[in-house]
Structure 1
């Protein structure tokens, strides 16, 4: 993403603003928001997103059982491909 960010500073600035609003304090805790993002990353099959959001979930206090529950929803929504990425997400969590 670094090379792309260098050639698209306006886009990255805009995306940063969206991210700041989406992750601001609200009804969901930071850990819950990271778990939601992890589930979406798993359903979409984004390896780098999984690494980033699993780390965020853990840093914000999510436990393995929380992650597993979020991954179950990801698999429900994403089917077989999400099942493969769910396993990767759990391995990342355990490796942190």
Structure 2
């Protein structure tokens, strides 16, 4: 994993711990919503993570891309599936999402793929 991406994950985890102490209701509320949605249902968790990644690309949210690439890999998505999902964002968002495809590739490479 690249040092930049590893540093991102480490800082994110540390910051979320701090925020848990500062704004526990917000963290608990978002976490509850996330847990209720991001589980197998009519769509598998893998497909939900791929959708979340595509939305992150469309919104040009680099932290979202970093987090959801890792989560996609954790639930068994392949590099090809991840890049295909990111490509859907390009179709829906156009050029701005297209410029974020290298960030998806960076996150994949940082995760060893």
Q: Structure 1-normalised TM-score?
A: 0.88
After TM superposition, the structure 1 = structure 2 runs for residues 73-84 of structure 1, keeping only pairs within 5 Å, are: 73-84=88-99
- Residue matched to 2:71: 56
4+ long deviations beyond 4 Å: none
- 8 A Cα contact 2:49 2:72, kept in partner: yes
- Residue matched to 1:32: 47
Shift of 1:5: 4.4
Q: How many residues align?
A: 96
Change (3 A) 1:15 1:94: same
Two-structure CA RMSD over aligned residues (Å): 1.5
Shift of 1:93: 1.1
Structure 1's unaligned 5+ residue stretches are none
- 8 A Cα contact 2:46 2:77, kept in partner: yes
Structure 2's unaligned 5+ residue stretches are 1-14
Shift of 1:31: 1.5
Shift of 1:40: 0.6
Q: Deviations over 1:32-53 (max 9, x none)?
A: 1111110011111111111110
After TM superposition, the structure 1 = structure 2 runs for residues 1-96 of structure 1, keeping only pairs within 5 Å, are: 1-2=15-16, 3-96=18-111
